[in-house]
Amino acid sequence: MSFLWEKSATWRWLVRRTRESKPFFFSFAMACGVVPAVIGYGIMQLTSSRNEQLEAQLRKTARPESL
């Protein structure tokens, strides 16, 4: 962390702002949590298939303990 503090003006600005302003801190914390969650949810929705035929085939070939 000291490397970031010494080399990055942006990091120093961010740390200073989060120390000085509670609203900025909570906004930044929410952005760090919500933005990745929304992106992850979107990716899961795009990549999950609701193909009934595929689901039936997977259920037919599944091991008994996984059902």
Torsion of CA 26, 27, 31, 34, to 10 degrees: 70
* pLDDT, tens digit, 9 for 90 and up, residues 7-62: 899 999 999 999 999 999 999 999 999 999 999 999 999 998 888 998 899 899 99
Q: What is the pTM of this model?
A: 0.57
* pLDDT, tens digit, 9 for 90 and up, residues 29-41: 999 999 999 999 9
Where do the structural domains in the chain lie, given as residue ranges?
A: 2-66
Helix (H) / strand (E) element for 31: namely: helix 22-47
Res 1 pLDDT > 70: no
